[in-house]
Amino acid sequence: MFVASNYSAIFERISKPAVEGAKILLNKRVVSVATPESRGPGQQQATVRTADGESYSFDELVMSTPLGWLKKNKDVFTPTLPPRLSAAIGNILFSYLEKVVITFPSAFWISDPTTDSFPSYTNWLAPSYAPDTNPKRWPQEIWNLASFEPPNNHPAILFYTYGDCSRHIVDMVHGKSREEKYKSITDFFRPYYSRLPGFDPASPDCIPQAVLATEWQKDELNGNASYCNFQVGIEEADKDVLAIREGCPGRRLWFCGEHAAPFEECGTVAGAYLSGQASAEKIIELNASLANSQ
C-alpha cells in the first residue's frame, strides 16, 4: 500500500533521461496551445505560449496537466479539441481525498517495538462521541506510520479524509496560521488518537509535535480536487478514458496523467507514470510508421 520511504529514489531514476537531456522550465503557466490541423510534410509544429509571453514549439506535444486544469482551460487549445475528447474531459469527475499527518514525540500506541501487534490500519466507522467536532459522524481512518521497518518508521499517524469530511477539514485550515492549523487539527482528531492504546493526556509523548494537512481542494491548477473518479451517473467512463488516452495524434497533441492511465491504475501515481510511458511509445511507433511509409 505504501512506499515506505518516499518517491525520491523512484523519481530520480525515471527522471534521469529528462534531467540529463532535456531543457526543463519551471514556473511557466500555459495560456495557449496551438496545433496544426493535420499531420503531414511541411506542417507546422505544436506551439505553447506561457503567461510571460514566451512561445515554445515542438514536433510532438504531450500534455501532462491535471484533469482539473483541462476542465477549466479547454479554451486554450487552437483549434478547439475534438467533440469526443472535449466531452470526455467534461464527463470524468473528481474525488476529494485529503491527508492529515500528526506526529508525536514517540509512538505511544506501541508498547513493545519488538513485538508490535498494533494494526497498520484502523477505522472508526461512525464515531458518535465527538458531537462538537463531528456531529455528522464522518468515518475516520488512519495508517500507522510507526509500523514500517527502520529507518522509515515514524511516530506518526496518517488520517485519510474524503467527501464532506475532507471539505470540512480543508475549509477549517485553509489560510490559517501554523498555530491555528495545529489547534484546529488536534481539536478535531483528538477524539480518535486519544483512543489508541497507551494514550495518557498527561504524558508529553501524547501531545502532537507537528501536524500537516493537504489542501488539494484549494489548488486551482489541480482543479480543486484530488484525482479522477467515475461517479454515479456517468455512462461511458471507459470510452472517456480511452478518448483522453488517444489524444489528437493528427495534431501532434497527446495527453497523459492519472486520468489517462490503464483502467486499474486510474487515480494513482503509478497510473500517471504508465500513461506517460504509453504516450511516448505511441509517438515513437507513429513516427517510425510514417518514416517507413515515405
Residue ranges making up the domain that contains 101: 97-220
Gap between the Cα atoms of 87 and 148, Å rounded: 43
- Domain co-membership, 24 together with 53: yes
- Domain co-membership, 80 together with 154: no
With respect to residue 1, please indicate whether it lies within any of the assigned structural domains. Answer: no
With respect to residue 3, please indicate whether it lies within any of the assigned structural domains. Answer: no
The conformation of residue 195, written as its DSSP 8-state character, comes to: T
Query: Which residues, in sequence order, are bridge partners of residue 109?
Result: none
Spell out the SS3 assignment of 249-272. Answer: HHHCEEECCHHHCCHHHCCCHHHH
127 closest CA partner among 103, 159, 101, 157? 159
- Domain co-membership, 108 together with 87: no
Structure confidence by residue, pLDDT tens digits, 79-105: 999 999 999 999 998 888 999 999 999
Query: Which residues, in sequence order, are bridge partners of residue 211?
Result: 102
Structure confidence by residue, pLDDT tens digits, 229-254: 888 888 899 999 999 999 999 999 99
Cell of 91: 464527463
Cell of 151: 529507518
227 closest CA partner among 265, 254, 255, 253? 265
Measured in Å, how far apart are the chain's first and last C-alpha atoms? 48
- Domain co-membership, 125 together with 214: yes
Cell of 50: 506561457
Could you say which of 220, 242, 270 is where a domain stops? Answer: 220
- Domain co-membership, 251 together with 189: no
With respect to residue 2, please indicate whether it lies within any of the assigned structural domains. Answer: no
pLDDT band at 143 (very low <50, low <70, confident <90, very high): very high
Per-residue pLDDT at 198 exceeds 70: yes
Largest interatomic CA distance in the chain? 79
Gap between the Cα atoms of 57 and 34, Å rounded: 9
CATH number at residue 111: 3.90.660.10
- Domain co-membership, 185 together with 236: no
Could you say which of 178, 198, 220 is where a domain stops? Answer: 220
The conformation of residue 149, written as its DSSP 8-state character, comes to: P
Residue 158 phi/psi, 5-degree rounding, is -110, 115
Could you say which of 220, 251, 266 is where a domain stops? Answer: 220
With respect to residue 6, please indicate whether it lies within any of the assigned structural domains. Answer: no
pTM confidence score: 0.86
Percentage of residues in the chain with pLDDT exceeding 90?
A: 75
With respect to residue 10, please indicate whether it lies within any of the assigned structural domains. Answer: no
Gap between the Cα atoms of 30 and 36, Å rounded: 18
Cell of 146: 510507526
- How many C-beta neighbours within 10 Å does residue 96 have? 19
With respect to residue 159, please indicate whether it lies within any of the assigned structural domains. Answer: yes
The total number of structural domains in the chain stands at 2
- Domain co-membership, 162 together with 254: no
- Domain co-membership, 108 together with 216: yes
- How many C-beta neighbours within 10 Å does residue 126 have? 10
Structure confidence by residue, pLDDT tens digits, 211-233: 999 999 999 888 888 888 888 88
